[in-house]
């Protein structure tokens, strides 16, 4: 059932929310910046127009015959100078040497009976200052003032002021801001719809992936099938690899289970036949020996299949690492006690401490234990265990000074249950187990002639970093 909590926790909602938040912030910042930029442009243009008016007044200002400043209104081209409260004003102030100001010595008719309030400030001759203030009827105005020298009147400065109401300019800014806001709102709506479409299109491969997973879960497909974008395809390939690996593990488990179930059938059949014959006179020692042999055979086969199944299930698990030297030295101590009556010397001095096997410790013990045990059984006086690493491979060698094995017989002894000499105790499964375990780890076993003259067994396994 679709709920609000499920929607808000979905990837689509989070992507859409993040996109819309980024769009809203971007549009807000763009609106503020454009509105401020337009206002600045309008006010600069407004100030430039006032500067032209101030220059025109400056050229018209002069002294009459009595030494008083005059400006001929007829020479001023803008009719707003003559219209009361038109929004455009000029005024001439006199500033005495002691700082006293006589405002409105001359002024435009548009000021009517008011003056422009402006505080005294130090102004170099010809310099222009810009002020914001209040004009007639409290209207906001922008004022430009310029210090003008007229004749030679020591201690007297003249200050010419031009002012204009900013209402119309600010109204234009407000209109632009309104149009800009509506435009950005429309643009934001379109971008939001585009973001929604983008999220829907961008996440559509996940719907295909979900459908493919349903097919796998319901057993209609063994792998993820379908066409996916190149950005998603590596994920699909890795997931299919996991599915293939799981299928391989299941197949091996089934095979091992079948082998394990089949292994004790022959010994059990022999025992059953022996039990059926107990009605006839049978020597007790013969029956006991038969039972012991068949039970031992069943145990050997079951042990072999269990070891094989365990390694097949644990094969290629990530992060496995087993130091070689401690395992070898532990096995050497065990074998010295097991074969103590034969006084076999076991040399394991050529073992770099940095070597490690990319697998489980129990598997390495199983392989090396069988090899060292076999070497001790056949050796006359000495067994040598060495190890090295080359190109990411771990190379282990177990050599003895025994009789060795002919080249023709070496392939045969690697087969399960093969024994060349029945006088030496063993089940014939040791080298077969080593070979199978090594191959499960992607390694191999080679039989060679040892430097001591006997048999040398070279075991190649994956090395850990």
Helix (H) or strand (E) holding 349: strand 345-350
Question: Cα–Cα distance between 364 and 91 in angstroms, integer?
Answer: 106
The pLDDT value recorded for residue 385 is 93
Question: Which class for 432: exposed (0-12), middle (13-18), buried (19 or more C-beta within 10 A)?
Answer: buried
C-alpha span between 27 and 344 (Å, rounded)? 87
Region for residue 155 given its phi and psi (left: phi exceeds 0; alpha: psi -120 to 50; beta: otherwise): left
Does the pLDDT at position 123 exceed 90? Answer: no
Three-state secondary structure call for residue 106: strand
Burial string for 312-333 (b: 16+ CB within 10 Å, else e) reads bebbeeeebebbbeebbeebbe
Percentage of the residues of the chain whose pLDDT score is greater than 90: 20
User: Which residue in 430, 462, 463 sits closest to 447, CA to CA?
Assistant: 430
Q: Cβ distance 107 to 92 under 8 Å?
A: yes
Q: Is residue 299 scored above 60 in pLDDT? A: yes
pLDDT band at 253 (very low <50, low <70, confident <90, very high): low
Q: Give 52-79 pLDDT, tens digit per residue.
A: 988 888 888 888 877 788 888 777 888 8
> Once rounded to an integer, what is the mean pLDDT over residues 298-306?
65
pLDDT tens-place string over residues 29-45: 999 999 999 999 999 99
Can you list the alpha helix ranges (DSSP code H) found in 265-360? 265-276, 284-314, 324-338
Strand-pair category, 444-449 with 382-390: unpaired
* Gap between the Cα atoms of 320 and 383, Å rounded: 29
Full-model pTM: 0.47
Asked if residue 422 has pLDDT above 50, the reply is no
Instruction: Work out the average pLDDT over 164-179.
Output: 91
Report yes or no: 203 and 39 within 8 Å, Cβ to Cβ. Answer: no
Between these two residues, 373 and 206, which has the higher pLDDT value?
373
Mean pLDDT value across residues 239-254: 76
pLDDT by residue (tens digit) across 331-376? 999 888 888 888 899 998 888 888 999 888 888 888 898 899 989 9
């Amino acid at each position: 059932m679709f709920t609000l909590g499920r929607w808000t926790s979905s990837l689509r909602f989070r992507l859409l929310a993040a996109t819309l938040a980024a769009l809203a912030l971007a549009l807000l910042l763009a609106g503020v910046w454009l509105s401020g930029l337009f206002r600045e442009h309008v006010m600069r243009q407004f100030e430039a127009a006032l500067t032209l008016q101030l220059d025109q007044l400056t050229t018209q200002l002069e002294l009459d015959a009595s030494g008083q400043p005059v400006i001929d209104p007829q020479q001023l081209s803008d009719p707003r100078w003559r219209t009361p409260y038109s929004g455009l004003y000029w005024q001439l102030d006199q500033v005495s040497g002691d700082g006293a100001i006589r405002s409105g010595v001359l002024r435009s008719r548009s000021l009517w009976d008011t003056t422009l309030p402006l505080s005294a400030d130090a102004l170099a001759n010809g310099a222009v200052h810009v002020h914001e203030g209040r004009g007639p009827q409290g209207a906001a105005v922008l004022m430009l003032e310029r210090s003008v020298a007229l004749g030679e009147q020591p201690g007297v400065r003249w200050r010419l002021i031009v002012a204009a109401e900013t209402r119309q300019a600010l109204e234009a800014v407000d209109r632009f801001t309104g149009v800009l806001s509506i435009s950005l709102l429309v643009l934001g709506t379109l971008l939001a719809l585009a973001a929604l479409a983008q999220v829907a299109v961008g996440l559509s491969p996940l719907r295909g992936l979900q459908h493919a997973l349903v097919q796998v879960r319901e057993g209609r497909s063994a792998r993820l099938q379908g066409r996916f974008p190149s950005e998603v395809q590596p994920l699909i390939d890795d997931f299919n690899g996991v599915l293939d690996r799981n299928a391989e593990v299941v197949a091996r488990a089934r095979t091992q289970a079948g082998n394990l179930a089949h292994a004790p059938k022959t010994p059990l059949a022999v025992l059953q036949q022996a039990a059926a014959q107990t009605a006839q006179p049978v020597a007790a020692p013969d029956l006991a020996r038969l039972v012991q042999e068949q039970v031992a055979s069943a145990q050997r086969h079951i042990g072999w299949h269990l070891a094989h199944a365990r390694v097949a299930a644990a094969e290629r698990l990530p992060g496995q690492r087993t130091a070689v030297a401690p395992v070898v030295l532990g096995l050497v101590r065990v074998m010295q006690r097991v074969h103590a009556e034969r006084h076999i010397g076991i040399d394991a001095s050529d073992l770099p401490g940095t070597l490690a096997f990319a697998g489980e410790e129990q598997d390495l013990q199983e392989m090396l234990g069988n090899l060292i045990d076999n070497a001790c059984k056949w050796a006359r006086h000495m067994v040598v265990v060495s190890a090295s690493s080359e190109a990411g491979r771990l190379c282990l060698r177990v050599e003895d000074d025994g009789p060795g094995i002919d080249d023709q017989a070496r392939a045969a002894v690697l087969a399960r249950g093969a024994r060349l000499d029945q006088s030496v105790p063993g089940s014939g499964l040791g080298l077969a187990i080593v070979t199978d375990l090594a191959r499960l780890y992607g390694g191999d076993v080679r039989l060679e002639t040892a430097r001591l003259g006997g048999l040398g067994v070279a075991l190649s396994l994956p090395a850990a970093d």
